[in-house]
């Protein structure tokens, strides 16, 4: 087993802790507790667009339903724009209603249980939601530096920043087997 293919481990979050940093000034910008999240100010993503994950994966996604998003945001630490990758994953097929609520955040998702994920030296945020279709994991990967604006006339879009979106999709595809393995592990773990 090489380091690049090492499995992902999850650590439950108890008291609030900082989980994501600004890639520009290294300030803590996102704090999570067992079931809650807060930022320095507002939401950590201002705008985003769908990440075409299916195109980046070698196979059909291992029987999962999934949704990837690449967002752009700023926080008052330094006010400079960063990119954030979000990925929702659940085993099996889901309905359009499910996608609206859990993938596009239009509805009540209920409370999440939050974890810090670790793989090699990288850490990120994982929120687990209990749904009628089983547990869904939502990964929020650390904000990264973006050298070009991700926004066009209609806001953040893959058309405005094709290179950034392609790089982000490849980043997720590269660790897809480990992400799937983690979801399968979580399916046999009871809700906390």
- The verdict on 64 binding Zn ion (CB under 5 A) reads no
- The verdict on 146 binding Zn ion (CB under 5 A) reads no
Q: Which helix (H) or strand (E) segment is 186 a member of?
A: helix 176-187
- The verdict on 25 binding Zn ion (CB under 5 A) reads yes
Q: CB 23 → Zn ion: shortest distance, Å?
A: 8
Task: With contacts defined by CB under 5 A, name the span among 21-29, 119-127, 168-176, 178-186 that binds Zn ion.
Answer: 21-29
Among 20, 22, 172, 179, contact with Zn ion (rule: CB under 5 A): 22
Among 34, 40, 57, 77, contact with Zn ion (rule: CB under 5 A): 77
- Residue 22, φ and ψ in degrees, nearest 5: -70, 130
C-alpha–C-alpha distance, residues 146 and 71, integer Å: 11
Which of these, 162, 142, 143, lies nearest to 152 by C-alpha position?
A: 162
Q: CB 74 → Zn ion: shortest distance, Å?
A: 8
Sign of the CA dihedral with 67 first, then 130, 139, and 143 last: positive
- Residue 53, φ and ψ in degrees, nearest 5: -70, -40
State which residue, 27 or 149, has the beta carbon closest to Zn ion. Answer: 27
Q: CB 180 → Zn ion: shortest distance, Å?
A: 33
State which residue, 18 or 25, has the beta carbon closest to Zn ion. Answer: 25
CB atoms within 10 A of CB 155: 13
Q: Which residues bind Zn ion (CB under 5 A)?
A: 22, 24-25, 27, 77-78
């Amino acid at each position: 087993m090489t380091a690049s293919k090492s499995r992902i481990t999850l650590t439950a979050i108890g008291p609030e802790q900082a989980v994501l940093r600004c890639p520009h000034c290294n300030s803590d910008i996102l704090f999570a507790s067992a079931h809650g999240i807060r930022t320095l100010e507002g939401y950590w993503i201002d705008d985003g667009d769908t990440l075409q994950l299916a195109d980046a994966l070698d196979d059909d996604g291992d029987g999962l339903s999934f949704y990837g998003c690449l967002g752009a945001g700023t926080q008052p630490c330094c006010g400079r724009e960063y990119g954030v990758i979000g990925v929702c994953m659940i085993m099996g097929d889901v309905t359009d209603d499910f996608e609206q609520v859990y993938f596009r955040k239009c509805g009540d998702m209920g409370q999440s249980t939050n974890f810090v994920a670790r793989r090699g030296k990288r850490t990120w945020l994982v929120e687990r939601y209990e749904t009628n279709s089983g547990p869904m994991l939502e990964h929020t990967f650390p904000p990264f530096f973006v050298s070009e604006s991700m926004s066009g006339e209609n806001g953040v879009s893959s058309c405005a920043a094709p290179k950034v979106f392609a790089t982000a999709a490849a980043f997720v595809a590269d660790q897809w087997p480990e992400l799937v393995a983690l979801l399968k592990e979580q399916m046999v773990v009871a809700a906390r």
